[in-house]
Amino acid sequence: MIRAAIAGILLASSGAAVAASCPPRLGPALFPTLAVDAGGWVRGTAVKRILASRKARMAACRGVAPCVVEAAHWRDADRAALAQARDVVAPSAAMRLAGDSGAAAVTREIDGLDRVLDVYAGAQAPLYPKIDGPDDAAGSPARAAKVARAVKMAASCVPSSGLRDESLGLALALLTVNDRTEAIAFEPLDARHHAGAVALAKRTDWSRFPYTALIVPGIGPEEPGVQLSTASDANARMAADRYRRGLAPLIVVTGGSVHPRRTRFVEAVEIRRALVDRYGVPAEAVVIEPYARHTTTNLRNVTRRLVSLGVPLDRDTLIVTNVDQSRYIEGAEFTARNLRELGYQPGAVGQRVSANDLVFRPSPLSLRIDPADPLDP
């Protein structure tokens, strides 16, 4: 698995503080409202009072890990007091595009904080137990040791700006000590991997193409050591054919390091390799979306990449995949799953062009970040 570089954890036998810090991009990636104070999150006296109360509650634990974890949760009283604090945060440009509000984003991110605490320091199962969550069983000595390390690390994990609340630092530290920082494994994504695609998008006349992009979902192999499944290779071959026919100027390949659990191979990276090396697609025309762990987030995350590249969202894309996945995407079960897991539809599924080609109009609702799934928020 391609993982974010994680600072070394130096624990003295005396139990001295951990001389380490969390990956600096992790907070803004998972908690863009709470960890980035651009909207003035801590400007109100009511909010400051809530945070001060929570800080005192955690400090009273004197570093005892189970107590700190319990105190870090956002209690009903905290939430009720926060709900009374008007003008908590101003909506960002991304929020406005997604039809989101500052209050909704704050609530969503606080829920995400509590979920991280419950899953990585408690006994709650992650959303997808087969591929997500900690490796150590709840109640085990190994889990307890990691929680204790996270409690020591938490102070160094609070971003220099944003929410001055130790629950944020603790959540980030828990993910760090469990080596679950997949959400930032490729950042800064466009600067590191898409210089050619960024330049291509800037000079593209989108009206010349039937579709703005071809979307190619990954279909992960279940066998350890397998880089690319035969199904993903078939998707790549079909996408290359559509690209050569001039249906779209870009191919967006989507899929993270998912199957089997802790695999070192990333679906999007391997499909891109096949497109460029095996099927001759120009490298600048292939965009990777290496984070999605599910079909729901395949489509959601592709929309984020399109926005990042400046691709217009008022035009159609084309999903190119095997017939079974294609039918699933246009079915009622997938629609219901989107509402259940995302809370919205990541876009509108349009007409079927062929057994393997499905029209899709992305929705800006996909810009909403939800750390309830911290590996793919």
Residue by residue, pLDDT tens for the chain (377 residues) are 333 332 332 233 233 334 458 899 999 999 988 887 654 555 567 778 888 899 999 999 999 999 999 999 999 988 888 777 655 677 778 888 999 888 888 889 999 999 999 999 999 999 899 999 999 999 999 999 999 999 999 988 877 666 667 899 999 999 999 999 999 999 999 999 999 999 999 999 999 999 999 999 999 888 888 999 999 999 999 999 999 999 999 999 999 999 899 999 999 999 999 999 999 999 999 999 999 999 999 999 999 999 999 999 999 999 999 999 999 999 999 999 999 999 999 999 999 999 999 999 999 999 999 999 999 99
Query: Do 112 and 210 sit in the same domain of this protein?
Result: no
With beta carbons less than 8 A apart as the criterion, state whether 339 and 345 touch: yes
Query: Do 145 and 243 sit in the same domain of this protein?
Result: no
At 40 the pLDDT is: 55
pTM, two decimal places:
0.90
Q: How many domains does the chain have?
A: 2
Query: Do 238 and 152 sit in the same domain of this protein?
Result: no
Any domain includes 221: yes
- Domain residues for the domain of 242 are 187-367
Token pair 């999007």 is found at 268
Any domain includes 168: yes
Which structure tokens are listed for 109? Answer: 């991110």
Query: Do 153 and 229 sit in the same domain of this protein?
Result: no
Any domain includes 360: yes
At 44 the pLDDT is: 65
Any domain includes 291: yes
CATH of the domain at 298: 3.40.50
Any domain includes 277: yes
Any domain includes 93: yes
At 3 the pLDDT is: 35
